[in-house]
Amino acid sequence: DQQVKQNSPSLSVQEGRISILNCDYTNSMFDYFLWYKKYPAEGPTFLISISSIKDKNEDGRFTVFLNKSAKHLSLHIVPSQPGDSAVYFCAAISQIQGAQKLVFGQGTRLTINP
Amino acid sequence: ETGVTQSPTHLIKTRGQQVTLRCSSQSGHNTVSWYQQALGQGPQFIFQYYREEENGRGNFPPRFSGLQFPNYSSELNVNALELDDSALYLCASSAGQRQETQYFGPGTRLLVL
């Protein structure tokens, strides 16, 4: 039961252009979402987050949009830079027993071409 | 201030064996969560430890067990290893149980033959 889905395994974008990564979720109880970036041989690092009370959050070159009615969020990176090449994971916070856990999508490998 | 560290970085085991993976949490963090990331998939929650007690568990069998020590470091133990246990095991630490501000270690890559 994949509650968070990233349907594009890979994305290739030219340097300087906009990268758009998409994520869909099925559980309407999710109320907080995060994007992580992962380089090889490193753990995921937090990039940006959004609460369900907002529809947009911006941090420098990174903007996350949330469409609750469509259960869809997207990460926009503009302008894209070579160092942005990594695997990007979308995640939602879910309550489980006494803990909070992250429910991750499958990831999208972003490649920025010079 | 050191980040989250994990040991070993790589490990090869055979089916039926047991393995122990270790995680040192970031200074000041009292909560550790463990995740399994299979090839081509996102990380999946195994369990979480808060102040030395397990306080949440994902859909993993009992042969996956853990410990948290008074210094908040943690171990993940897997008994009776199966081929499907081959994965990257990530631990993440946070100050408190909220997951918005957790930091991941680099992971331990386990290969079961």
Residue A100 — very low, low, confident or very high, per pLDDT cuts 50/70/90?
confident
d(C-alpha A40, C-alpha A101), whole Å? 23
**DSSP state, residue B25:** P
**Paired tokens of A71:** 């259960």
Interchain pair A99, B44: CB under 8 A: no
Q: What average pLDDT score do residues A49-63 get?
A: 96
Cβ count near A44 (within 10 Å)? 30
Residue B28 — very low, low, confident or very high, per pLDDT cuts 50/70/90?
confident
Mutation site, B37, B49, B51, interface A, largest A CB count within 10 A? B37
d(C-alpha A114, C-alpha B8), whole Å? 36
**B98: nearest Cα among B41, B55, B52:** B55
The answer on pLDDT for B1 being more than 90 is no
Q: What average pLDDT score do residues A95-112 get?
A: 91
The answer on pLDDT for A84 being more than 70 is yes
Q: What is the DSSP string of A12-26?
A: EEETTS-EEEEEEE-
Residue B110 — very low, low, confident or very high, per pLDDT cuts 50/70/90?
very high
Which chain A residues are within 8 Å of B57, Cβ to Cβ?
96-97
**pLDDT at res. A98:** 76
The answer on pLDDT for A1 being more than 70 is no
Binding-site residues on chain A for chain B (CB distance < 8 A): 4, 6, 9, 32, 34, 36, 41-46, 49, 89, 91, 93, 96-107
**pLDDT at res. B106:** 96
**pLDDT at res. A36:** 97
d(C-alpha A47, C-alpha A102), whole Å? 14
**A25: nearest Cα among A87, A62, A73, A86:** A73
The answer on pLDDT for A89 being more than 90 is yes
Q: What Rg value do the Cα atoms of chain A yield, rounded?
A: 14
Interchain pair B40, A106: CB under 8 A: yes
Nearest-CA residue of chain A relative to B9? A41
Parallel, antiparallel, or unpaired: how do β-strands A32-38 and A86-96 relate?
antiparallel
Compute the nearest-CA separation of B106 from chain A (Å).
4
Q: What average pLDDT score do residues A17-44 get?
A: 95
Which stretch of A26-35, B44-53, B92-101 has the lowest confidence by average pLDDT? B92-101
Maximal C-alpha separation, chain A: 47
Interchain pair A4, B42: CB under 8 A: yes
Interchain pair B43, A89: CB under 8 A: yes
Total residues belonging to chain B: 113
d(C-alpha B84, C-alpha B52), whole Å? 28
Interchain pair A34, B56: CB under 8 A: no
Total residues belonging to chain A: 114
